């Protein structure tokens, strides 16, 4: 079937389309209705059906593939590795579920998981899924403040944690932050379950803190049957990255999510049972939930769980893992590839990556030079995916499982089945034509797998996402897009990343695209800074491939001129940044997203606000230093 026809089917006959996709998973009790759309924008999928994510990902494969690998763990930090077959994973999940039950966790209770990338984190997620507890995974690198707000919001009965993780060769201790978070939170969990890796100090609070290894020893033979859940029961809550403001607690269901992920493995990722899927995301992010933990196993594949960074102990480590585990499909982020681009291209060829069929990238715009560099380096198709924590799976991509469609550089692709994507004029709310810029929106009902609501806050769900265009109930992604005549959609940046220079509206993303086209630039970020004369001016922060260039005044000036000329050529002189500031690194969230608002605040001398999601606060100091008046700036 043609992709367009497949998409049209999914929109014109939602019930028929999703009834067919629902056969990809096991239903303990069949659903009565495919879709209950009587209270828009809330959508309830597979109403009355009973199923279970853990059963579908693990138990269902036992007859056919009990001894095949299910979870492959590699810590390139500690040198540890472990492979669990489906049978072993099943055992471990039942042990973890029994521990949780012994600590009083019941169906509907929340469990906060604050863990490094270790197998026990995956056991804990599946144990929750098995017994109908709602997990809320909080990224292990978050400090006490962010963790406290999430504990308070979720009000968990149990927190599962560990002594620490490791990143870039340095131990990251967890327990002090956790204790502080619980002290700050108005809600107190009854218990804290601790995995002791022997990496960091692990003080215990008597009565509250319990030891995983000890409890597991007593429950080695535990049998914990699956709790069958109505399709619309909450499976988990997860916070967005918080790039643009207060993080939102996205809540997802059980049945719709299972069907959506299983369908995406068939149509978008083309994964085959018995193969290995490697997604580099942390389990604390949505990609980790969907494409590390749940989707590969739903498809009968093994998933590779990696504790480590792309450059430690060397910048070829990802490809070494691909070779060792004969990885078929890989999922990463443009930011990881841009980091690798700063290193030797030959590292891509040192390992045998012939098992790899496709590399998927998501999370940030994929710029053309990076796309070219990695496509040529690996020699396999690189497929961009555009989606959000809110949607759980791709909104825009290509679906080679439906029809092989060529990709187009700079575009993630076309609307995926189930998503009625419309580009709307931000002022009038009318649909824009090909070649015209509009806000990417989705006509409800949102397809299965998307958020049901924001945890405990239906009103915020409706007003935040569906209240942006008068007289229209549409879901706003808060991203700009443009569609070409063939239906390929390009993402132009976030709706709040547009700057206004002397009356000209400029997308910061477009200026970034132009700058990154210059071979000396590894990464860059452009922000709009208040200016008395022009309203706003663009300031560009660039990370150079060769940082020493910035140290020699003559070389630096020549480079700045060359960069400005590049922007002139690409976009015209009106888009010229007022200043180009070389910096050693850009401030990013822990999921690798550039914090443009924080940079902007620094430029305008404002308080950058909550910095808890920043990967490396030292980067801010470097930016402050680079902005200092003594620093010579080039005026456009």
Interacting residue ranges for ligand ATP, rule: CB under 6 A: 240-245, 247, 362-366, 384-389, 412, 477, 479, 491, 494, 591, 593
Residues 303/29/90/124 CA torsion (nearest 10 deg): 70
From the CB of 333, what's the least distance to ligand ATP, in Å? 8
Among Mg ion, ligand ATP, none, the one that 230 touches (CB under a kind-dependent 5 to 8 A) is none
From the CB of 391, what's the least distance to ligand ATP, in Å? 8
Site size toward Mg ion, by CB under 5 A: 1
Among Mg ion, ligand ATP, none, the one that 494 touches (CB under a kind-dependent 5 to 8 A) is ligand ATP
Residue closer to Mg ion (CB basis): 240 or 613: 240
Structure tokens at 127: 């144990």
The 10 Å CB-count burial string (b at 16+, else e) for 357-375 is bbbbbbbbbbbebbbebbe
Backbone angles phi, psi at 232, to 5 degrees: -90, 10
Residue closer to ligand ATP (CB basis): 31 or 360: 360
What span, in angstroms and rounded, lies between the C-alpha atoms of 95 and 244?
40
Among ligand ATP, Mg ion, none, the one that 267 touches (CB under a kind-dependent 5 to 8 A) is none
DSSP symbol at 636: -
Among ligand ATP, Mg ion, none, the one that 234 touches (CB under a kind-dependent 5 to 8 A) is none
Chain positions 584 to 613 lying near Mg ion, rule: CB under 5 A, are none
Residue nearest to Mg ion (CB): 240
Residue closer to ligand ATP (CB basis): 114 or 386: 386
Residue closer to ligand ATP (CB basis): 394 or 582: 394
From the CB of 607, what's the least distance to Mg ion, in Å? 22
Taking CB under 5 A as the rule, which mask of x and - marks residues 210-249 in contact with Mg ion? ------------------------------x---------
Report whether 448 contacts 33 (CB < 8 A): no
Among Mg ion, ligand ATP, none, the one that 177 touches (CB under a kind-dependent 5 to 8 A) is none
The 10 Å CB-count burial string (b at 16+, else e) for 442-468 is bebbbbbbbbbbbbeeeeebbebbbeb
β-bridge pairing 535-544 and 302-307: unpaired
What span, in angstroms and rounded, lies between the C-alpha atoms of 250 and 574?
40
Report whether 582 contacts 551 (CB < 8 A): no
Backbone angles phi, psi at 374, to 5 degrees: -75, -35
Among ligand ATP, Mg ion, none, the one that 513 touches (CB under a kind-dependent 5 to 8 A) is none
DSSP symbol at 430: P
What span, in angstroms and rounded, lies between the C-alpha atoms of 185 and 114?
15
Among Mg ion, ligand ATP, none, the one that 593 touches (CB under a kind-dependent 5 to 8 A) is ligand ATP
Residue closer to Mg ion (CB basis): 275 or 479: 479
Residue closer to ligand ATP (CB basis): 72 or 260: 260
Among ligand ATP, Mg ion, none, the one that 296 touches (CB under a kind-dependent 5 to 8 A) is none
Report whether 26 contacts 56 (CB < 8 A): yes
From the CB of 287, what's the least distance to ligand ATP, in Å? 8
Among ligand ATP, Mg ion, none, the one that 337 touches (CB under a kind-dependent 5 to 8 A) is none
Residue closer to ligand ATP (CB basis): 320 or 364: 364
Residue closer to ligand ATP (CB basis): 72 or 416: 416
Residue closer to ligand ATP (CB basis): 479 or 523: 479
Strands of 502-591 (E only): list them.
504-507, 521-531, 535-544, 579-582
From the CB of 276, what's the least distance to ligand ATP, in Å? 23
From the CB of 297, what's the least distance to ligand ATP, in Å? 22
Residue closer to Mg ion (CB basis): 483 or 593: 593
What span, in angstroms and rounded, lies between the C-alpha atoms of 362 and 292?
14
From the CB of 344, what's the least distance to ligand ATP, in Å? 26
From the CB of 169, what's the least distance to ligand ATP, in Å? 27
Among ligand ATP, Mg ion, none, the one that 514 touches (CB under a kind-dependent 5 to 8 A) is none
Report whether 163 contacts 194 (CB < 8 A): yes
What span, in angstroms and rounded, lies between the C-alpha atoms of 598 and 608?
5
User: Degrees (nearest 5) of the Cα angle 514, 515, 520?
Assistant: 135
Residues near 418 by Cβ (< 8 Å), separated by ≥ 6?
Answer: 10, 11, 14, 17, 18, 260, 447, 448
Among Mg ion, ligand ATP, none, the one that 413 touches (CB under a kind-dependent 5 to 8 A) is none
From the CB of 41, what's the least distance to Mg ion, in Å? 17
Residue closer to ligand ATP (CB basis): 227 or 477: 477
From the CB of 448, what's the least distance to ligand ATP, in Å? 18
DSSP reduced 3-state for 62: helix
Among ligand ATP, Mg ion, none, the one that 491 touches (CB under a kind-dependent 5 to 8 A) is ligand ATP
What span, in angstroms and rounded, lies between the C-alpha atoms of 174 and 116?
9
Comparing C-alpha atoms, which of 211, 289, 293, 294 is closest to residue 259?
A: 294
From the CB of 385, what's the least distance to ligand ATP, in Å? 6
What span, in angstroms and rounded, lies between the C-alpha atoms of 259 and 473?
25
DSSP symbol at 447: P
Among ligand ATP, Mg ion, none, the one that 56 touches (CB under a kind-dependent 5 to 8 A) is none
Residue closer to ligand ATP (CB basis): 140 or 247: 247
From the CB of 240, what's the least distance to Mg ion, in Å? 5
From the CB of 387, what's the least distance to ligand ATP, in Å? 6
Residue closer to Mg ion (CB basis): 240 or 405: 240
Residue closer to ligand ATP (CB basis): 76 or 476: 476
From the CB of 245, what's the least distance to Mg ion, in Å? 9
What span, in angstroms and rounded, lies between the C-alpha atoms of 144 and 148?
6
From the CB of 51, what's the least distance to ligand ATP, in Å? 26
β-bridge pairing 521-531 and 234-239: unpaired
Report whether 592 contacts 599 (CB < 8 A): no
Residue closer to Mg ion (CB basis): 75 or 477: 477
What span, in angstroms and rounded, lies between the C-alpha atoms of 268 and 15?
21
Among ligand ATP, Mg ion, none, the one that 242 touches (CB under a kind-dependent 5 to 8 A) is ligand ATP
Among ligand ATP, Mg ion, none, the one that 383 touches (CB under a kind-dependent 5 to 8 A) is none
Which single residue is written with the structure tokens 């599946």? Answer: 126
Residues near 242 by Cβ (< 8 Å), separated by ≥ 6?
Answer: 589, 610, 613
Q: Strand pairing partners for 413?
A: 489
Number of helical (H) and strand (E) elements in the chain, helices listed first: 20, 32
Residues that bind Mg ion (CB under 5 A): 240
């Amino acid at each position: 079937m043609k992709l367009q026809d497949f998409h049209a089917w999914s929109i014109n006959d939602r019930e028929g389309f999703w009834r067919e996709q629902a056969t990809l998973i096991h239903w303990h009790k069949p659903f009565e209705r495919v879709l209950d759309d009587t209270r828009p924008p809330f959508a309830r999928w597979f109403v009355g059906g009973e199923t279970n994510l853990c059963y579908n990902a693990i138990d269902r494969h036992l007859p056919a593939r009990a001894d095949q690998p299910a979870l492959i763990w590699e810590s390139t930090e500690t040198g540890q590795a472990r492979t669990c077959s489906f049978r072993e994973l099943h055992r471990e999940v039942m042990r973890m579920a029994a521990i949780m039950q012994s600590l009083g966790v019941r169906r509907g209770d929340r469990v906060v998981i604050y863990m490094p990338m270790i197998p026990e984190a995956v056991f804990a997620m599946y144990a929750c899924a098995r017994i109908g507890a709602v997990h809320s995974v909080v990224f292990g690198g978050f400090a006490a403040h962010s963790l406290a707000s999430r504990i308070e919001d979720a009000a968990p009965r149990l927190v599962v944690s560990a002594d620490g993780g490791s990143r870039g060769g340095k131990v990251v201790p967890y327990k002090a932050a956790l204790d502080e978070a619980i002290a700050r939170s108005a809600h107190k969990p009854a218990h804290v379950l601790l995995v002791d890796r022997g990496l960091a100090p692990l003080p215990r609070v008597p009565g509250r803190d319990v030891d995983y290894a000890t409890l597991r020893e007593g429950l080695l033979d535990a049998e914990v049957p699956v709790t069958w859940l109505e399709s619309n029961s909450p499976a988990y809550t997860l916070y967005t990255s918080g790039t643009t403001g207060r993080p939102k607690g996205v809540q997802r269901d059980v049945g719709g999510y299972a069907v959506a992920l299983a369908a995406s493995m068939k149509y978008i990722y083309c994964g085959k049972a018995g193969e290995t899927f490697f997604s580099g995301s942390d389990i604390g992010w949505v990609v980790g939930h969907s494409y590390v933990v749940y989707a590969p196993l739903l498809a009968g594949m093994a998933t590779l769980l990696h504790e480590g960074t792309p450059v430690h102990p060397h910048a070829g480590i990802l490809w070494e893992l691909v070779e060792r585990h004969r990885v078929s499909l890989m999922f990463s982020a443009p930011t990881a590839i841009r980091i690798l681009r700063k290193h030797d291209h030959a590292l891509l060829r040192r390992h045998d990556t012939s098992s790899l069929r496709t590399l998927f990238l998501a999370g940030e715009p994929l710029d053309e030079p990076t796309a070219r560099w990695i496509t040529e380096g690996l020699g396999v198709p690189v497929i961009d995916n555009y989606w959000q924590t809110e949607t759980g799976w791709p909104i825009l991509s290509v679906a080679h499982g439906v029809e092989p469609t060529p990709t187009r550089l700079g575009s993630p692709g076309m609307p995926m089945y189930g998503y009625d994507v419309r580009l709307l004029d931000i002022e009038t709310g009318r649909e824009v034509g090909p070649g015209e810029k509009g806000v990417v929106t989705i006509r409800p009902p949102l397809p299965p797998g998307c958020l049901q609501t924001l945890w405990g806050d239906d009103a915020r769900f409706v007003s935040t996402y569906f209240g942006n265009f008068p007289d229209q109930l549409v879901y706003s992604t808060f991203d700009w897009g443009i569609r070409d005549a063939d239906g390929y959609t390009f993402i132009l940046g976030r709706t709040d990343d547009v700057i206004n220079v002397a009356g000209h509206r400029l997308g910061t993303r477009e200026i970034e695209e132009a700058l990154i086209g210059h071979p000396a630039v590894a990464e860059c970020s452009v922000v709009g800074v208040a200016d008395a004369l022009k309203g706003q001016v663009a300031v560009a922060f660039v990370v150079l491939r060769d940082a020493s260039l910035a140290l020699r005044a003559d070389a630096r000036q020549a480079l700045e001129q060359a960069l400005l000329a590049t922007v002139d050529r690409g976009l015209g002189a009106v888009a010229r940044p007022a200043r180009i500031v070389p910096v050693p690194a850009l401030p990013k969230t822990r999921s690798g997203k550039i914090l443009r608002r924080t940079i902007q605040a620094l430029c305008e001398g404002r308080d950058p606000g909550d910095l808890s999601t920043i990967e490396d606060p030292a980067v801010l100091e470097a930016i402050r230093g680079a902005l200092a008046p003594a620093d010579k700036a080039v005026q456009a």
